[in-house]
Amino acid sequence: MQAEYVIVGAGSAGCAMAYRLSEAGKSVILIEYGGTDAGPFIQMPAALSYPMNMKMYDWGFNSEPEPHLGGRVMATPRGKVIGGSSSINGMIYVRGHAKDFDHWAESGAHGWRYADVLPYYKRMEHWHSGGHGGDPEWRGKDGPLHITRGPRNNPLTRAFVEAGREAGYPVTGDYNGEQQEGFGPFDATIYRGRRWSAANAYLKPAMQTGRVNLVRAMAEKIVIKDGRATGVQVERDGKTEVIDATKEVIIAASSINSPKLLMLSGIGPAKHLAEHGIDVVADRPGVGQNLQDHLEMYIQMAATQPVSLYKYWNIFMKGLIGAQWLFTKTGIGASNQFESAAFIRSKAGVEYPDIQYHFLPIAVRYDGATAAEGHGFQAHVGPMRSPSRGEITLRSGDPKDAPKILFNYMSHEQDWEDFRTCIRLTREIFKQPAFAPYAGKEIQPGADCQTDDELDDFTRQHVESAYHPCGTCKMGDRNDPMAVVDPECRVIGVDGLRVADSSIFPRITNGNLNAPSIMTGEKASDHILGRSPLAAENVEPWMNPNWETSQR
């Protein structure tokens, strides 16, 4: 078993790299522990709450008890299936704000400014505006990743954007284009009514070249000889094997599993490795550190008219929706139901948005449980740039053991202030005239939850992960002791080894992380192939001219 390149993880970045390397004529072995993505629960967009809660498709990670959330243990789903988390996520497509990438470059990830990554976003995208505005010049037109917009037929979906406008916020035709700030339509990785995961967009075409071999196995450690990665030790069908890489090994196993695999291979904080009896190959104290995520809260309202999706929330209607989708790939089943979005700033003096909204025309939890009130609607809201940092550490030296995940959520005073702001700004939006025909009582947090202490208590009990973990193998300058990879994604201190996935993000980006994860795989491919990066595009994104003096 050998190839020029061995990639660990058939997720968002891994699939993109397999596609680009095979396109360049290289031989690739892609190691993936999870199985097939066939079946309606993954492919049907409206069924998104199912695969995330299925052992068959999810690694089933949980955090350690979170000290600032009253000891709550938080679910940390990661895709254990081809396509990785792009096969079980909410299909939301957000590039991130231009300033996010400029910050990366300033913090040592040279060559990753917005001007540098924009051409890779364009290369990967095939954008369909669906007649909902936006400027195609900012978007890709013929990439493998199809991005579409829902029909936006529900009156609540339209009311959300109108309420934002009434509250004095900008409206944007495309938050992934020139102007992120404001209210507007959501982009989704959905195409012809199906989830357009990294597996559908990249892996399946790559496999057809005959140069990509997908191997189902559990990666146990990277084989390193004389300071160079030469292959991957795996367990397959109960037997230990080594898969050899004649050129490079590339880890794209997620922000949870990539640092775990590095540490099992002797790359990480020396003292921590010694505690688990692992020989140190490279003392990199940053491996597993810098863990970040987005938290969010569901602000739920009862609806006074039967306009929400609640009417479909019964066995009979779900059956009808499923049947329509199976035979025609149309109808309610063909949308993830997240069709209106917003990015706003929390206060004057914040240069670019630091709060994101996902609007949903039903009051429902991620696990599919609806509010007892019946018809309703909700906004998922949360801050984008929490100062809290957590860590991934080994539970043991056994590759089968899940790592210890401690997000250290809400460990900073700013987090609490941010969530109070999020709740109060959302309530104001829901009080706008656009919602007057529909808005009933507030289900959650509820009208009796008003003071700072009451809001903090509610946050502690009800805040949820948005499932955007990243940052645990930080990319930075080679002289930065906490950097794990350099700006070409090469692991510092070991030859022939790279990491390319959301674990290398120096800081979390605005919005959902699937798009920047795929972009990372796209850009890393050019570094791996020794190609000159695509020419930078020095365009100026829109910044609110009054950001220093006003919140909107």
Euclidean distance between CA atoms 359 and 301, whole angstroms: 12
404 close to 393: Cβ distance less than 8 angstroms: yes
Looking only at the bridges linking them, the beta strands covering 497-499 and 239-251 are parallel
3-state secondary structure of 189: coil
Euclidean distance between CA atoms 387 and 385, whole angstroms: 6
Sequence-distant (≥ 6) Cβ neighbours of residue 489 within 8 angstroms:
250, 475, 498, 499, 500, 504, 520, 524, 527, 528
SS3 track for 287-336: CCCCEECCEEEEEEEEECCCCCHHHHCCHHHHHHHHHHHHHHCCCHHHCC
Euclidean distance between CA atoms 37 and 60, whole angstroms: 17
Q: Hey, what are 550's tokens?
A: 């006003």
3-state secondary structure of 205: helix
Q: In angstroms, how far is the first alpha carbon of the chain from the final one?
A: 58
Using CA atoms, how far residue 483 sits from 228, 409, 476, 477, in Å, is 19, 22, 5, 7
Q: Which of 110, 128, 468, 527 is catalytic?
A: 468
Task: Check the CA dihedral 245-251-257-260 and report its sign.
Answer: positive
Q: Measured in whole angstroms, how far is the alpha carbon of residue 161 from the centre of its chain?
A: 24
Euclidean distance between CA atoms 73 and 52, whole angstroms: 17
Euclidean distance between CA atoms 126 and 80, whole angstroms: 26
* 468 is annotated as an active-site residue: yes
Catalytic residues: 468
